[in-house]
Amino acid sequence: MKADELREWRGVGWWNALMLLVWLVAAVTVFVPFARDTSALDAVTLHVPGNQGNWWHVLVGVPLFLAFPMLWLRLRALSAKQLPTRVGRRVLWVVIGLSLVGTVLVELPFLRHLAGTSEWQRLVVLGLGLGIALVCTAMLWVKRRSIAPMQLCIAGIETAYLANAALCLVVYAEAMGPVWSRLGWLVTMGTVWPMALDLVTIFTQSFRAES
């Protein structure tokens, strides 16, 4: 049984290598200006232009750091001979859960019409951010017994990351400035698609396993 779970965690060699590269880029993007010369690291450390850093920026920035535990999972999958311990998986789920809660809290100003965005931006942010968080979390719960433990962890990280990234991409879509000042936004726009495809693949395989 564990051998099968280990094999499923490693997955298809070329796809795992591709996703490792995608998440490596995502990890580097944490230090790159996402919008208005502000990176995720700047947001978390409250180094926001105009001294405007607050709890909202912290909660927006933190989930992007999920790229690092995902890198650890992808690297381990290349050569690991045993699965991470149950304690290690629980730690990952605590991190995933906190990230999802943070994203929901970030959505509060949009729910209460306090974000200062246009109505279409508000609806898209709520639809994507909350939509991904709620729908995928429900799917993870329903399919928790038909998805291997490590694949479940990967899907959980991708859910939390994509819910937050979708929100950020919409909110800062109209941010002006030189390309280098919003390079993180442009790179993230490219990396979220293979992540989403990987997440959809995991759910699809779970349906096939039950049929």
Structure tokens at 65: 């750091």
Q: What is the 3-state secondary structure (H, E, C) of the chain?
A: CHHHHHHHHHCCHHHHHHHHHHHHHHHHHCCCCCECCECHHHHHCCCCHHHCCCHHHHHHHHHHHHHHHHHHHHHHHHHCCCCCCHHHHHHHHHHHHHHHHHHHHHHHHHHCCCCCCCHHHHHHHHHHHHHHHHHHHHHHHHCCCCCCHHHHHHHHHHHHHHHHHHHHHHHCCCCCCCHHHHHHHHHHHHHHHHHHHHHHHHHHHHHHHHC
Contacts of 69 (CB under 8 A, 6+ apart): 92, 95, 157
pLDDT of residue 129: 84
How would you write the pLDDT of the chain (211 residues) with one tens digit per residue?
455 665 666 666 778 889 999 999 999 999 999 988 899 999 999 888 776 767 888 999 999 999 999 998 888 877 766 777 789 889 999 999 999 999 988 887 777 665 556 677 777 777 888 889 999 999 999 988 888 888 899 999 999 999 999 988 988 887 777 888 889 999 999 999 999 999 999 999 887 766 6
Place of tokens 């709890």: 55
What pTM was computed for the model? 0.89
What domain range is 131 assigned to? 2-210
pLDDT of residue 42: 92
Structure tokens at 132: 């991904």
pLDDT of residue 11: 64
pLDDT of residue 76: 80
pLDDT of residue 12: 63
Contacts of 104 (CB under 8 A, 6+ apart): 130, 133
How far is Cα 176 from Cα 186, in angstroms, rounded to an integer?
12
Domain count, the chain: 1
pLDDT of residue 8: 63
pLDDT of residue 101: 93
